[in-house]
Structure 1
Protein backbone atom coordinates (compact mmCIF):
# COMPACT_ATOMS: atom_id res chain seq x y z
CA UNK A 1 0.00 0.00 0.00
CA UNK A 2 1.11 3.55 -0.61
CA UNK A 3 1.75 5.99 2.19
CA UNK A 4 -0.65 8.95 2.50
CA UNK A 5 -0.36 11.50 -0.28
CA UNK A 6 0.89 14.42 1.82
CA UNK A 7 3.83 12.53 3.32
CA UNK A 8 4.51 10.83 -0.01
CA UNK A 9 4.80 14.22 -1.74
CA UNK A 10 7.02 15.68 1.00
CA UNK A 11 9.35 12.68 0.79
CA UNK A 12 9.45 12.92 -3.00
CA UNK A 13 10.46 16.58 -2.87
CA UNK A 14 12.98 16.08 -0.06
CA UNK A 15 14.58 13.15 -1.86
CA UNK A 16 14.84 15.09 -5.11
CA UNK A 17 16.50 18.06 -3.35
CA UNK A 18 18.89 15.78 -1.46
CA UNK A 19 20.06 14.27 -4.74
CA UNK A 20 20.21 17.66 -6.44
CA UNK A 21 22.30 19.22 -3.66
CA UNK A 22 24.58 16.26 -3.11
CA UNK A 23 23.62 15.39 0.47
CA UNK A 24 23.58 11.89 1.88
CA UNK A 25 20.02 10.69 2.37
CA UNK A 26 20.96 9.25 5.77
CA UNK A 27 22.07 12.70 6.98
CA UNK A 28 18.65 14.26 6.56
CA UNK A 29 16.32 11.25 6.65
CA UNK A 30 17.84 9.46 9.61
CA UNK A 31 15.28 7.12 11.22
CA UNK A 32 16.82 7.39 14.67
CA UNK A 33 16.80 11.19 14.67
CA UNK A 34 13.31 11.41 13.20
CA UNK A 35 12.03 8.88 15.74
CA UNK A 36 13.41 11.01 18.58
CA UNK A 37 11.92 14.16 17.07
CA UNK A 38 8.45 12.65 16.65
CA UNK A 39 8.35 10.16 19.57
CA UNK A 40 7.53 7.47 17.00
CA UNK A 41 9.17 4.01 17.06
CA UNK A 42 12.10 3.70 14.64
CA UNK A 43 10.38 0.75 12.98
CA UNK A 44 7.37 2.93 12.13
CA UNK A 45 9.59 5.72 10.82
CA UNK A 46 11.45 3.25 8.59
CA UNK A 47 8.19 1.88 7.21
CA UNK A 48 7.00 5.39 6.37
CA UNK A 49 10.33 6.46 4.83
CA UNK A 50 10.17 3.41 2.59
CA UNK A 51 6.66 4.35 1.42
CA UNK A 52 4.81 1.76 3.47
CA UNK A 53 1.80 1.98 5.74
CA UNK A 54 2.24 1.26 9.46
CA UNK A 55 -0.19 -0.85 11.49
CA UNK A 56 -3.48 0.82 12.38
CA UNK A 57 -3.66 2.35 15.85
CA UNK A 58 -6.04 4.47 17.90
CA UNK A 59 -5.62 7.99 19.26
CA UNK A 60 -5.29 6.57 22.76
CA UNK A 61 -2.56 4.20 21.56
CA UNK A 62 -0.64 7.12 20.09
CA UNK A 63 -0.95 9.30 23.16
CA UNK A 64 0.21 6.56 25.53
CA UNK A 65 3.11 5.48 23.33
CA UNK A 66 4.41 8.99 22.62
CA UNK A 67 4.26 10.15 26.22
CA UNK A 68 6.12 7.01 27.24
CA UNK A 69 8.72 7.61 24.52
CA UNK A 70 9.29 11.17 25.71
CA UNK A 71 9.47 10.04 29.33
CA UNK A 72 11.95 7.27 28.55
CA UNK A 73 14.11 9.67 26.53
CA UNK A 74 14.03 12.17 29.39
CA UNK A 75 15.15 9.54 31.90
CA UNK A 76 17.93 8.32 29.62
CA UNK A 77 19.16 11.85 29.01
CA UNK A 78 19.02 13.09 32.58
CA UNK A 79 19.70 9.95 34.58
CA UNK A 80 16.67 10.70 36.76
CA UNK A 81 14.39 8.05 38.21
CA UNK A 82 10.82 7.61 37.04
CA UNK A 83 9.59 8.49 40.52
CA UNK A 84 11.38 11.85 40.30
CA UNK A 85 9.93 12.61 36.88
CA UNK A 86 6.44 11.61 37.98
CA UNK A 87 6.67 13.76 41.10
CA UNK A 88 7.85 16.74 39.06
CA UNK A 89 5.05 16.35 36.49
CA UNK A 90 2.54 15.86 39.29
CA UNK A 91 3.63 19.10 40.93
CA UNK A 92 3.57 21.02 37.64
CA UNK A 93 0.15 19.76 36.57
CA UNK A 94 -1.49 19.56 39.97
CA UNK A 95 -2.06 15.80 39.91
CA UNK A 96 -0.84 12.92 42.04
CA UNK A 97 2.59 11.43 41.44
CA UNK A 98 0.93 8.02 41.10
CA UNK A 99 -1.29 9.25 38.24
CA UNK A 100 1.67 10.96 36.56
CA UNK A 101 3.70 7.76 36.75
CA UNK A 102 0.86 5.76 35.19
CA UNK A 103 0.78 8.26 32.32
CA UNK A 104 4.58 8.29 31.87
CA UNK A 105 4.59 4.48 31.83
CA UNK A 106 2.03 4.53 29.00
CA UNK A 107 -0.69 2.94 31.12
CA UNK A 108 -3.10 5.87 31.37
CA UNK A 109 -4.42 8.43 28.89
CA UNK A 110 -4.51 12.02 30.19
CA UNK A 111 -7.46 14.33 29.70
CA UNK A 112 -7.24 17.03 27.03
CA UNK A 113 -6.45 19.64 29.69
CA UNK A 114 -3.64 17.59 31.18
CA UNK A 115 -2.36 16.67 27.75
CA UNK A 116 -1.94 20.39 27.13
CA UNK A 117 0.09 20.54 30.34
CA UNK A 118 2.35 17.76 29.06
CA UNK A 119 2.88 19.70 25.83
CA UNK A 120 4.21 22.55 27.96
CA UNK A 121 6.22 20.29 30.24
CA UNK A 122 8.04 18.43 27.46
CA UNK A 123 8.23 21.54 25.23
CA UNK A 124 7.01 19.69 22.15
CA UNK A 125 6.16 21.44 18.89
CA UNK A 126 2.72 21.15 17.35
CA UNK A 127 0.66 21.24 20.53
CA UNK A 128 -1.59 18.31 21.42
CA UNK A 129 -1.33 17.06 17.83
CA UNK A 130 2.22 15.97 18.64
CA UNK A 131 0.66 13.20 20.70
CA UNK A 132 -2.56 12.55 18.76
CA UNK A 133 -1.70 12.85 15.05
CA UNK A 134 -1.41 9.68 12.95
CA UNK A 135 2.18 8.56 12.36
CA UNK A 136 2.27 9.77 8.75
CA UNK A 137 1.15 13.26 9.78
CA UNK A 138 3.64 13.35 12.66
CA UNK A 139 6.51 12.40 10.37
CA UNK A 140 5.36 14.80 7.67
CA UNK A 141 5.34 17.65 10.20
CA UNK A 142 8.92 16.79 11.18
CA UNK A 143 10.02 16.70 7.53
CA UNK A 144 8.52 20.03 6.49
CA UNK A 145 11.34 22.08 8.11
CA UNK A 146 13.84 19.81 6.33
CA UNK A 147 12.09 20.48 3.03
CA UNK A 148 12.06 24.22 3.73
CA UNK A 149 15.80 24.29 4.50
CA UNK A 150 16.60 22.35 1.33
CA UNK A 151 14.34 24.49 -0.82
CA UNK A 152 15.71 27.69 0.72
CA UNK A 153 19.38 27.04 1.55
CA UNK A 154 20.57 28.89 4.64
CA UNK A 155 23.36 31.40 4.03
CA UNK A 156 24.58 31.03 7.64
CA UNK A 157 27.26 28.29 7.50
CA UNK A 158 26.99 27.49 11.22
CA UNK A 159 23.21 27.12 11.00
CA UNK A 160 23.59 25.09 7.82
CA UNK A 161 25.99 22.73 9.62
CA UNK A 162 23.57 22.38 12.52
CA UNK A 163 20.69 21.76 10.11
CA UNK A 164 22.63 19.11 8.22
CA UNK A 165 23.26 17.12 11.39
CA UNK A 166 19.81 17.67 12.83
CA UNK A 167 20.95 19.82 15.75
CA UNK A 168 18.14 22.06 16.96
CA UNK A 169 17.44 23.87 20.21
CA UNK A 170 14.58 21.49 20.92
CA UNK A 171 16.83 18.51 20.18
CA UNK A 172 19.41 19.73 22.66
CA UNK A 173 16.79 20.13 25.35
CA UNK A 174 14.43 17.26 24.66
CA UNK A 175 16.30 14.45 23.02
CA UNK A 176 19.85 14.87 24.21
CA UNK A 177 21.43 14.58 20.76
CA UNK A 178 24.23 16.87 21.96
CA UNK A 179 24.83 18.74 25.17
CA UNK A 180 25.56 22.45 24.91
CA UNK A 181 29.21 21.72 25.79
CA UNK A 182 29.46 19.06 23.06
CA UNK A 183 27.97 21.46 20.52
CA UNK A 184 30.46 24.16 21.52
CA UNK A 185 33.36 21.70 21.11
CA UNK A 186 32.00 20.58 17.74
CA UNK A 187 31.76 24.14 16.44
CA UNK A 188 35.16 25.01 17.90
CA UNK A 189 36.67 22.11 15.97
CA UNK A 190 34.97 23.24 12.78
CA UNK A 191 36.25 26.80 13.18
CA UNK A 192 39.80 25.62 13.88
CA UNK A 193 39.77 23.46 10.78
CA UNK A 194 38.80 26.32 8.46
CA UNK A 195 40.49 29.33 10.07
CA UNK A 196 44.25 29.97 9.92
CA UNK A 197 46.29 29.91 13.15
CA UNK A 198 46.37 33.19 15.04
CA UNK A 199 48.77 35.63 13.43
CA UNK A 200 48.59 33.99 10.02
CA UNK A 201 46.65 35.32 7.09
CA UNK A 202 44.34 33.27 4.94
CA UNK A 203 46.02 32.17 1.69
Structure 2
Protein backbone atom coordinates (compact mmCIF):
# COMPACT_ATOMS: atom_id res chain seq x y z
CA UNK A 1 0.00 0.00 0.00
CA UNK A 2 1.36 3.42 -0.96
CA UNK A 3 2.19 5.61 2.01
CA UNK A 4 0.01 8.67 2.44
CA UNK A 5 1.69 12.01 1.75
CA UNK A 6 2.29 14.28 4.75
CA UNK A 7 -0.30 16.86 5.71
CA UNK A 8 1.83 19.69 4.31
CA UNK A 9 1.82 18.07 0.86
CA UNK A 10 -1.91 17.33 1.02
CA UNK A 11 -2.64 20.96 1.88
CA UNK A 12 -0.36 22.18 -0.93
CA UNK A 13 -2.17 19.99 -3.45
CA UNK A 14 -5.59 21.06 -2.20
CA UNK A 15 -4.74 24.74 -2.41
CA UNK A 16 -3.34 24.30 -5.91
CA UNK A 17 -6.40 22.39 -7.08
CA UNK A 18 -8.88 24.84 -5.57
CA UNK A 19 -7.02 27.74 -7.20
CA UNK A 20 -6.90 25.99 -10.59
CA UNK A 21 -10.61 25.20 -10.45
CA UNK A 22 -11.69 28.60 -9.18
CA UNK A 23 -13.12 27.21 -5.94
CA UNK A 24 -13.59 28.96 -2.62
CA UNK A 25 -10.65 27.69 -0.59
CA UNK A 26 -12.22 28.72 2.71
CA UNK A 27 -15.24 26.53 1.91
CA UNK A 28 -13.09 23.51 0.98
CA UNK A 29 -10.86 23.92 4.05
CA UNK A 30 -13.64 24.81 6.46
CA UNK A 31 -12.31 24.43 10.04
CA UNK A 32 -15.75 23.91 11.60
CA UNK A 33 -16.68 21.13 9.21
CA UNK A 34 -13.26 19.49 9.46
CA UNK A 35 -13.49 19.60 13.26
CA UNK A 36 -16.77 17.70 13.06
CA UNK A 37 -15.27 15.11 10.72
CA UNK A 38 -12.20 14.47 12.83
CA UNK A 39 -13.47 15.12 16.40
CA UNK A 40 -10.56 17.51 16.78
CA UNK A 41 -10.93 20.96 18.38
CA UNK A 42 -11.57 23.69 15.82
CA UNK A 43 -8.58 25.59 17.23
CA UNK A 44 -6.39 22.57 16.44
CA UNK A 45 -7.70 22.42 12.88
CA UNK A 46 -6.98 26.12 12.37
CA UNK A 47 -3.47 25.69 13.76
CA UNK A 48 -2.80 22.72 11.47
CA UNK A 49 -4.08 24.62 8.42
CA UNK A 50 -1.53 27.32 9.24
CA UNK A 51 1.42 25.04 9.84
CA UNK A 52 0.66 23.58 13.27
CA UNK A 53 3.71 25.09 14.96
CA UNK A 54 1.89 26.03 18.17
CA UNK A 55 0.17 22.71 18.82
CA UNK A 56 0.72 21.36 22.36
CA UNK A 57 2.07 17.85 22.79
CA UNK A 58 -0.42 15.17 23.76
CA UNK A 59 -0.49 11.47 24.54
CA UNK A 60 -2.48 8.68 22.89
CA UNK A 61 -4.68 8.49 25.99
CA UNK A 62 -5.37 12.23 25.77
CA UNK A 63 -6.40 11.89 22.12
CA UNK A 64 -8.69 8.95 22.74
CA UNK A 65 -10.50 10.51 25.69
CA UNK A 66 -10.87 13.87 23.98
CA UNK A 67 -12.23 12.46 20.70
CA UNK A 68 -14.69 10.15 22.44
CA UNK A 69 -15.94 13.07 24.52
CA UNK A 70 -16.31 15.20 21.37
CA UNK A 71 -18.22 12.46 19.55
CA UNK A 72 -20.44 11.91 22.58
CA UNK A 73 -21.31 15.62 22.79
CA UNK A 74 -22.04 15.73 19.06
CA UNK A 75 -24.26 12.64 19.41
CA UNK A 76 -26.17 14.28 22.26
CA UNK A 77 -26.62 17.51 20.30
CA UNK A 78 -27.76 15.62 17.20
CA UNK A 79 -30.25 13.34 18.95
CA UNK A 80 -31.41 15.56 21.82
CA UNK A 81 -30.88 12.84 24.42
CA UNK A 82 -29.11 13.17 27.79
CA UNK A 83 -25.65 11.85 28.62
CA UNK A 84 -27.25 9.22 30.86
CA UNK A 85 -29.29 7.98 27.89
CA UNK A 86 -26.19 7.81 25.70
CA UNK A 87 -24.36 5.89 28.42
CA UNK A 88 -27.26 3.41 28.55
CA UNK A 89 -27.08 2.89 24.79
CA UNK A 90 -23.32 2.36 24.89
CA UNK A 91 -23.70 0.05 27.88
CA UNK A 92 -26.29 -2.09 26.11
CA UNK A 93 -24.46 -2.13 22.79
CA UNK A 94 -20.99 -2.90 24.15
CA UNK A 95 -21.83 -4.94 27.25
CA UNK A 96 -20.27 -2.68 29.87
CA UNK A 97 -21.78 -1.11 32.97
CA UNK A 98 -23.68 2.17 32.76
CA UNK A 99 -21.19 3.79 35.13
CA UNK A 100 -18.18 2.76 33.02
CA UNK A 101 -19.91 3.81 29.79
CA UNK A 102 -20.71 7.22 31.30
CA UNK A 103 -17.11 7.75 32.44
CA UNK A 104 -15.78 6.80 28.99
CA UNK A 105 -18.26 9.06 27.16
CA UNK A 106 -17.37 11.91 29.51
CA UNK A 107 -13.70 11.45 28.61
CA UNK A 108 -12.82 10.62 32.19
CA UNK A 109 -11.72 7.02 31.65
CA UNK A 110 -9.61 5.35 28.99
CA UNK A 111 -11.52 2.52 27.27
CA UNK A 112 -10.03 -0.92 26.74
CA UNK A 113 -8.98 -1.92 23.23
CA UNK A 114 -12.13 -4.04 22.94
CA UNK A 115 -14.37 -1.18 24.02
CA UNK A 116 -12.59 1.24 21.69
CA UNK A 117 -13.25 -1.16 18.83
CA UNK A 118 -16.93 -1.20 19.79
CA UNK A 119 -17.05 2.61 19.87
CA UNK A 120 -15.81 2.71 16.27
CA UNK A 121 -18.99 0.94 15.27
CA UNK A 122 -21.25 2.77 17.70
CA UNK A 123 -20.22 6.22 16.46
CA UNK A 124 -19.78 4.97 12.89
CA UNK A 125 -16.38 6.55 12.37
CA UNK A 126 -14.02 5.79 9.49
CA UNK A 127 -10.47 4.57 9.94
CA UNK A 128 -11.04 2.15 12.78
CA UNK A 129 -9.33 2.68 16.13
CA UNK A 130 -6.86 5.03 14.42
CA UNK A 131 -9.66 7.61 14.30
CA UNK A 132 -9.19 7.95 18.06
CA UNK A 133 -5.46 7.31 18.38
CA UNK A 134 -3.83 9.08 15.42
CA UNK A 135 -1.95 12.34 16.02
CA UNK A 136 -3.90 15.42 15.02
CA UNK A 137 -1.98 16.02 11.78
CA UNK A 138 -2.58 12.44 10.62
CA UNK A 139 -6.26 12.63 11.57
CA UNK A 140 -6.74 15.83 9.55
CA UNK A 141 -4.70 14.45 6.66
CA UNK A 142 -6.96 11.38 6.52
CA UNK A 143 -10.01 13.63 6.22
CA UNK A 144 -8.44 15.79 3.49
CA UNK A 145 -7.08 13.08 1.17
CA UNK A 146 -10.53 12.14 -0.24
CA UNK A 147 -11.02 15.81 -1.13
CA UNK A 148 -7.80 15.74 -3.17
CA UNK A 149 -9.03 12.65 -5.04
CA UNK A 150 -12.40 14.26 -5.71
CA UNK A 151 -10.89 17.46 -7.06
CA UNK A 152 -8.39 15.56 -9.20
CA UNK A 153 -11.16 13.39 -10.73
CA UNK A 154 -14.34 15.50 -10.52
CA UNK A 155 -16.00 13.72 -13.42
CA UNK A 156 -16.41 10.54 -11.36
CA UNK A 157 -19.13 12.22 -9.31
CA UNK A 158 -20.21 14.83 -11.84
CA UNK A 159 -22.54 13.72 -14.65
CA UNK A 160 -22.20 16.99 -16.55
CA UNK A 161 -18.41 16.91 -16.69
CA UNK A 162 -18.50 13.19 -17.44
CA UNK A 163 -20.74 13.82 -20.43
CA UNK A 164 -18.57 16.66 -21.69
CA UNK A 165 -15.48 14.47 -21.35
CA UNK A 166 -17.18 11.60 -23.16
CA UNK A 167 -17.82 13.74 -26.23
CA UNK A 168 -14.54 15.64 -26.03
CA UNK A 169 -16.23 18.95 -25.30
CA UNK A 170 -14.05 20.36 -22.52
CA UNK A 171 -13.24 23.86 -23.79
CA UNK A 172 -16.28 25.42 -22.16
CA UNK A 173 -15.83 26.35 -18.52
CA UNK A 174 -18.54 24.43 -16.68
CA UNK A 175 -17.14 24.82 -13.21
CA UNK A 176 -20.06 27.06 -12.32
CA UNK A 177 -22.69 24.49 -13.26
CA UNK A 178 -23.09 23.44 -9.63
CA UNK A 179 -25.07 26.64 -9.04
CA UNK A 180 -27.49 25.97 -11.88
CA UNK A 181 -31.06 24.83 -11.34
CA UNK A 182 -32.23 21.42 -12.53
CA UNK A 183 -33.99 23.04 -15.50
CA UNK A 184 -30.87 24.95 -16.50
CA UNK A 185 -28.78 21.78 -16.30
CA UNK A 186 -31.28 19.95 -18.49
CA UNK A 187 -31.12 22.71 -21.10
CA UNK A 188 -27.33 22.60 -20.94
CA UNK A 189 -27.29 18.84 -21.49
CA UNK A 190 -29.79 19.14 -24.30
CA UNK A 191 -27.59 21.73 -26.00
CA UNK A 192 -24.50 19.56 -25.61
CA UNK A 193 -26.24 16.52 -27.04
CA UNK A 194 -27.67 18.53 -29.93
CA UNK A 195 -24.18 19.75 -30.80
CA UNK A 196 -22.56 16.30 -30.87
CA UNK A 197 -25.33 13.84 -31.79
CA UNK A 198 -26.71 13.90 -35.38
CA UNK A 199 -30.37 14.88 -35.68
CA UNK A 200 -32.93 12.61 -37.34
CA UNK A 201 -32.81 14.87 -40.40
CA UNK A 202 -29.04 14.65 -40.58
CA UNK A 203 -29.08 10.86 -40.39
CA UNK A 204 -31.59 10.62 -43.19
CA UNK A 205 -29.46 12.64 -45.58
Under TM normalisation by the shorter chain, which class is it?
0.7 to 0.9
CA shift, 1:52, in A, is: 2.0
Give the number of the structure with larger relative contact order, counting CA–CA contacts within 8 Å between residues 6 or more apart.
1
- Name structure 2 gaps, 5 residues minimum: 162-177, 192-205
Structure 1: distance between partners of 2:64 and 2:46: 20
Bigger-Rg structure (1/2): 2
The answer for the alignment partner of 2:72 in structure 1 is: 71
The answer for the alignment partner of 1:34 in structure 2 is: 34
Structure 2: distance between partners of 1:46 and 1:158: 34
The answer for the alignment partner of 2:122 in structure 1 is: 121
Q: How many residues matched?
A: 167
Deviations 1:66-112 (A, max 9, x none): 00000000000110111111000000110011111101111011011
Structure 1: distance between partners of 2:157 and 2:136: 32
The answer for the alignment partner of 1:12 in structure 2 is: 12
Deviations 1:119-164 (A, max 9, x none): 011110000000000000000000000011111113433799xxxx
Question: Cα gap change, 1:159/1:49 in structure 2, threshold over 3 Å: closer, same or farther?
Answer: farther
Runs of 4+ in 1 over 2 A off after TM superposition: 154-160, 189-196
The answer for the alignment partner of 2:109 in structure 1 is: 108
CA-atom RMSD in angstroms: 2.2
2:173 corresponds to 1:191: no
CA shift, 1:26, in A, is: 1.3
The answer for the alignment partner of 1:143 in structure 2 is: 144
Local SS of the residue matching 1:140:
helix
Deviations 1:31-57 (A, max 9, x none): 000000000000000000011231100
The answer for the alignment partner of 2:60 in structure 1 is: 59
Q: TM-score, normalised by structure 2?
A: 0.76
Local SS of the residue matching 2:51:
coil
Q: TM-score, normalised by structure 1?
A: 0.76
- Name structure 1 gaps, 5 residues minimum: 161-186, 197-201
